[in-house]
Chains A and B, each alone.
Chain A
Amino acid sequence: MINRNRLFSGGLIDRNILIKFKFNGKPLQGYQGDTLASALLANDIHLVGRSFKYHRPRGILTSGSEEPNALVQLGKGAETEPNARATEIELYDGLEASSQNCWPSVNHDIGALNNLFSRILPAGFYYKTFMWPPSMWMFYEYFIRRAAGLGEAPKEKNPSRYEQKFFYCDVTVVGAGVNGLTAALTAARAGASVLLVDEKPELGGYLLNAKSRINNLDTKKWIKDTVKELMALENVTVLNRTAATGYYDYNYVTALQKITNHLPNSLSKQPRERFWRIRSKEVILAQGAFERPLVFSGNDRPGIMMASSAQTYVNQYGVLPGNAVTLFTNNDHAYSVAVDLISKGAKVIIVDIRSNISEKIRKLCEQNKIETYISHAVIKTDGSKKISSITVQELSEDKQSFVGEAVTIGTDLLLMSGGWNPAVQLFSQSRGKLKYDDQISSFIPDVLVDNQAVIGSNNGDFNLKQSLMSSYEAGLGAAHRTGNKQEVENFINDANEPIEFITAEVVPYVLGSKPVTHGSKHFIDFQNDVTAADIFLAQREGYVSVEHTKRYTTTGMATDQGKTSNVNALALMSHIQQKPVGDVGHTTFRPPYVPQTFGAIAGRNVDQYFDPQRLTAIHEWHIDNGAVFEDVGQWKRPYFYPKKVETMTEAVNRECIAARASVGILDASTLGKIDIQGPDAAKFLNLIYTNAWSKLEIGACRYGLMCNEHGMVFDDGVTTRLGENHYHMTTTTGGAARVMSWLEEFLQTEWLDMKVYCTSVTEQWTVLSICGPNSRKLLASLTEDDISNEELPYMRMKEAKVCGVDARIFRISFTGELSFEINVSARYGRYVWDKVIEAGKKFNITPYGTETMHVLRAEKGFIIVGQDTDGSATPSDLNMDWIVSKKKEDFLGKRSFLRPDTAKNGRKQLVGLLINDKKTVVPEGSHIVEEVSKQPPMKMEGHITSSYFSPTLGHPIAMAMLKNGKARNGDLVKIPLMNGKVVEATVTENVFYDKAGARQND
């Protein structure tokens, strides 16, 4: 045998396949089918990690996902994973793992000094100290932070891929133990579509390890047959290595499937994990139960393990973790573990805290030559990095004192069994209500939610035959309720277990050689180092609510989320507070059931798929012509087009001048566009916009402002009447979806009788905006239609053919230049663009981006909603009273203008600013102050919303929202900058260029 603790036969491992791995750098060997934990135990390695607070040596406590101690740093580099549970890591060739939270090594850990000072580090010690001097907290905290934490995050980007899957079915069964298998098979036979998930690689659950029988078959055989049948059924999906992690409303279950985690990473091209989102008509929970630790002095050393886990290591992995075994129990069931270990050659002593044991158990002990210490307790353990001996002593009748002498017994494996806690976490997440069951001394499901069942030990039902019957019924019921009515004969005839778990006494804590609060370490939460003394302290200090105790001591907040600690903590609280456990209550169980990889929840929504990119039909051209892009909502828009050595300022200046001197072209396709039709369209627009729309002629365009009902501007744009009952609305790029919803909201919820139909057509049109004195000449060369000022004046639209393509030409201008917005079907967009560019060469056509557009419009004093407005400006605040109809009875936002604060004088109002030094471009967002002082605070009276150097005018211009701005024309204002400089500016009107509008109107 290559492994010291490996048995020659038995178990589900494959002794023909040897696997090499490293732990803490040491080369080791295991077999196919091992977990890291079983392989370490096979190699007689018990010391695996260090605890969170006291850095105490810790070993392997369990064999499953509830493991609080044996957490390791798995893998290296970009693929390293912190806090991986050794009990769940399937061994693969080349696996490397190391201990966490220790330095320099798990054997010699400096942090263990904490253990020496543990007397002054009780629960909540940090609330009582580190307060002097007050300025020093962050100094202390630096060290606290470095001492805390467990494993280490990778330092590189995760190379793994994660998939997601939506799944819908009739019945989901969580847990493929014998009960889950029974329910799943029954439902499947009845015709239901069934999903069966289990977190382990091997289906079958705990009874894979036990000597029980079902239908007169060895359980292992029965499991094998049942799984085989399930696998063959077309209406059944079976997922192993899949933990159901969350159970939300309306039977929405999330599950995390490990796909390549158990394989050498280099082999895998598949995703690492798949995240399942399951909507199931019925859910059956069959997750089983967790064995409960006993709370005694020194119960945390390596070599102390749950009894059932030892049984698993022996029977499933062929590993006998110790030879001189002591089993400390409060229930009958643990005796079956003893029998299994003895059959593999171990020597077993049983310490039973109960005063009496049954005749049946006594006989069993006789038959198997088990030495028993009845009414005894383990009062002390020894062994620094692994258990070496225990001390036992007889308890008095009331268990409050000792009788007789303490006896020390050499032991290399101490098993504990404090009874079983049903795994009610998912049930509780689903809003199911729990109750405390005195017989098993734990919480069990009480009030179920709709379309749900809980079966087997998950339901507190530990009688094998009875629970299998219930499982059959649960499966049948679920199938029937989902309309699958095929008859299914009950296929469970008989079942039995050698020793069943029937009852467990509450043992709040076991008397130790020292009083429980006097520095004796009775651990309750192993990972977080919460002791019974800490629970006592919390009660003494008034943290008596179960949530207070949890938060003050951190019990139940470790990575096992209280699976091993919660019930023991509650039992102790109940003991101290002298009230029933049920009255102490329990904390809320929160998802996930087991920790769940961030990357798997994110799925493919990262990198290039993080958020869709919206691209116009011209996008490739922009790239080819060196555009720098800006993100506007999801759109990628050209920001500016730098020539080789140009800075942004140089490029923008060049683009501005070209547009004013000859022709500029802008891809304006991202503007929101909504097609509005219906006999009430004009009436509708009258209510939506602040200005009047009734008299707009067909073919005419009009600018409009939209306010929300608070009277604040929230979008603007030009709307054109295309026909009698047909309008084309444009919106801001970022506001398109919001406007569409706004229109629909009023049409669908408020004005139900209006006949108006809105359709978003943003992506249907490519919009080429050409502007500049030569723009008409350019366009004329591309169309045979008449586009003269008489035929197509300012603020008119004409349908025409441009480059042979049907187009709508809008004579509108956001730059103040003669301007045409050519709308063509997006599929011809690039074609027309190329033709325009080609024809424009003789006019030195210059593509410009959003920054130039912003400069040009600012020169004309046009606002940008979202930049010059912030949701708190009315049209009047924007100096746009001209666009607010005085005649209209009603429009959205109108009433709010009358409110006292909205109507008051002296609100912040839009003004233009000329910078006095003629050269400083003040930052957008800087503020105007009433008076400059050396140090803040300074009273503010306005802020800069837009600020540019105007190449046309040769000096900076700015717009600002200034208190009482409308009445401040000519005032000198001061803008202190962060660097201490104060910029002076003069208030002016906000149109800086071509005030008469001759250029655009011509």
Chain B
Amino acid sequence: MKYSLLNLVRNAFSYHENWQEAWTNPGLKKEYDIIIVGGGGHGLGTAYYLAKQFGLKNIAVLEKGWIGGGNTGRNTTIIRSNYLWDESAALYNHAVNLWEGLSSELNYNVMFSQRGLFHLAHTVHDMQEITRRGYSNHLNGIDAEILNKEDVLKKIPFINGDGRYPIMGALLQRRGGTARHDAVAWGYARAAENLGVDIIQNCEVTGINITKGIVTGLETTRGSVKAKKVGLVPAGHSSVLANMAGFQLPINSVPLQALVSEPIKPVLDCVIMSNAVHVYVSQSDKGELVVGAGSDAYNSYSQRGSFDMIEHIMGPLVELFPIFSRLKMLRQWGGIVDVTPDRSPIIGKTPIENLFINCGWGTGGFKATPGSAHVFAETVATGEPSKIAAPFSIDRHYSGALVDEAAAAAVAH
């Protein structure tokens, strides 16, 4: 049943007892043409585009827990595409273009809200960095405005422009913003199932079957399954799956934390990022301040980090927004992020034939969801990396052709 105001009103008369399942829980078949491992936004999206764009059938998404339960449901929902390098800009801007039509495309309101995203600059070096990035974005056709201090103070009420590191300016991407993270997974799941994709939850992959260097299927907690092609989209467990297939990745999995405040009436209408002061904050539609903390430097799969990462974010937050000091932290949580050396993802082929991988999104995968899913679907469908995905191969770690967002911006959120 189509989601619309009309149908909402119509269903109100039947006490909403006639809504169908957004997705069902089918059993695992014996064989699929394509299996996507990982039921987050990227994985579900991949399955959706495989079915929708490439008309493929007999696709399954295997999720070890509940869909959207990994980083899709744990991030701070920031969306932007103002990356420095052409390769990244192309990838993330592809995503923003898709974000803009996603609610309609999926008939599920993912609440993409282009409330504008400010990268604050606090030093001369910061100004050079945002100017360079701003110009690069502008010339790549990505909206970018370089603001001075007065502009920033005018546009962001309550911000403290004269702290320990005074604000000198900002890079504004108006098309940046936030979306409702869970809705992205649910929306893709519903749309994918409508196109015949099987979404199998509580199905953990325990082995990858390979014959003569070609993938043939998977072992799972719900039994064996054959597959002609397999796409791994297992953020947080990329190395675990790669190790099953017998290869290593240039990845460390580390805890990344975030927190929300109690809900309050609107005080912050945009997204704020400051690398120099280390603040990542926006206010959700529910009224909670959503704050990104840093990632720990140690590897961990425990979905919890050390408390000092939370402490480290609080000084900066209160420094930048002194009025937040009396607000209260309601909930903190952690996720596992797969960090690559250059803070750019890995999308493409693996040493195993017909086994593809999409991983290494580090701290910033959510914003890329539709773009990542779309280019990965093309890669899996055609067997060759799409044009946008090509620079993000594993091989760049041997050739040296890194897409080094890490070196350029110190933090790649």
Contact = CB atoms under 8 A, between A and B. Distances in A.
Q: Is A–B contact present in the complex under a CB 8 A cutoff?
A: yes
Contacts of B111: 126, 137, 141
A146 B267 CA distance: 10
A131 interface: yes
Contacts of A607: 163-164, 319
Interface string B274-312: 000000000101110000000000000000101100110
Contacts of A596: 328-329
B402 interface: yes
B32 interface: no
B117 to A, nearest CB: 14
A23 to B, nearest CB: 20
A519 B100 CA distance: 36
Interface in B347-386: none
Interface string A893-921: 00010011110000000000000000000
A369 B100 CA distance: 68
A929 to B, nearest CB: 6
A599 B329 CA distance: 10
B311 A601 contact: yes
B138 A561 contact: no
Interface in B103-147: 103-104, 107-109, 111-115, 122-125, 128-136, 138-141, 146
Interface stretch (A382-390, A407-415, A740-748, A867-875): A867-875
Given A595-B330, A596-B329, A598-B261, A153 B323 contact: yes
A492 B152 CA distance: 66
A590 B332 contact: yes
B399 A540 contact: no
B314 interface: yes
A937 interface: yes
Contacts of A79: 326
B20 A541 contact: yes
Contacts of B264: 82-83, 149-153
Contacts of B139: 927, 929, 936-938, 940, 976
Which residue of B187, B317, B323, B400 has the most chain A CB atoms within 10 A of its CB atom?
A: B400
A631 B3 CA distance: 53
Contacts of A937: 139-141
Contact of B140 (A517, A639, A936): A936
B407 A872 contact: yes
Given A145-B266, A150-B287, A902 B400 contact: yes
Contact of B315 (A137, A602, A613): A602
A252 B311 CA distance: 14
B97 to A, nearest CB: 13
Interface stretch (B6-14, B41-49, B223-231): B6-14
Interface string A139-181: 0010011101111111111101000000000000000000000
Interface in A653-680: none
B24 interface: yes
B123 A631 contact: yes
A228 interface: no
Interface residues of B, number: 109
A958 to B, nearest CB: 13
Contacts of A544: 25
Given A160-B326, A559-B330, A899 B4 contact: no
Interface in A105-134: 119-120, 122, 125-132, 134
Which of A125, A519, A866 neighbours the largest number of chain B CB atoms within 10 Å of its CB?
Answer: A125
Contacts of B20: 541
B165 interface: yes
Given A144-B285, A150-B263, A606-B319, A900 B400 contact: yes
A504 interface: no
A105 to B, nearest CB: 16
Contacts of A83: 262-264, 328
B112 A137 contact: yes
A131 B5 CA distance: 9
Interface string A626-642: 00001110000001000
A628 B15 CA distance: 68
Given A543-B22, A559-B262, A610 B113 contact: no
A144 B284 CA distance: 11
B314 to A, nearest CB: 4
A537 interface: yes
B404 interface: yes
B398 A145 contact: no
B293 to A, nearest CB: 11
Nearest to A546: B66
B286 A601 contact: no
B69 interface: yes
Interface in A466-518: 515, 517-518
A537 B8 CA distance: 13
B272 to A, nearest CB: 15
Contact of A561 (B7, B21, B113, B331): B331
Interface centre among B12, B24, B265, B304 (most CB of A within 10 A): B265
A533 B23 contact: no
A400 interface: no
Interface string A238-281: 00000000101100101000000000000000000000010000
B238 interface: no
B92 interface: no
A546 B343 CA distance: 33
Contacts of A599: 318, 325-326
A606 to B, nearest CB: 5
A156 to B, nearest CB: 7
B186 interface: yes
Given A542-B24, A592-B332, A551 B182 contact: yes
A120 B12 contact: yes
Contacts of B398: 899
A761 B392 CA distance: 42
Contact of A540 (B19, B134, B163): B19
Interface string B319-351: 100111111111111000000010000000000
Contacts of A630: 123-124
A122 to B, nearest CB: 5
A750 to B, nearest CB: 19
A936 B138 contact: yes
B222 interface: no
A923 B133 CA distance: 12
A44 interface: no
A547 B66 contact: yes
A246 B307 CA distance: 9
Interface in B20-41: 20-25
Nearest to B322: A157
Contact of A138 (B7, B17, B114): B114
Interface string B390-401: 000000101111
Given A542-B24, A590-B333, A925-B129, A146 B407 contact: no
A145 B22 CA distance: 26
A638 to B, nearest CB: 13
B400 A710 contact: yes
Interface in B146-168: 146, 158, 163-165
Interface in A707-726: 710-712
Contacts of A554: 286
16 contacts: A80-B326, A119-B15, A127-B186, A128-B109, A129-B109, A138-B115, A149-B286, A150-B263, A151-B264, A154-B323, A602-B325, A631-B123, A710-B402, A867-B128, A871-B406, A872-B408
Given A149-B286, A590-B332, 16 more contacts: A83-B328, A127-B3, A127-B108, A128-B3, A129-B3, A129-B4, A141-B285, A146-B266, A150-B263, A598-B326, A599-B326, A606-B322, A608-B164, A710-B402, A937-B141, A940-B86
Interface of B: 3-5, 7-9, 12, 15-17, 19-25, 65-69, 73, 86, 100-101, 103-104, 107-109, 111-115, 122-125, 128-136, 138-141, 146, 158, 163-165, 180, 182-183, 186-187, 201, 261-267, 283, 285-287, 304, 306-307, 310-311, 314-319, 322-333, 341, 396, 398-402, 404, 406-408
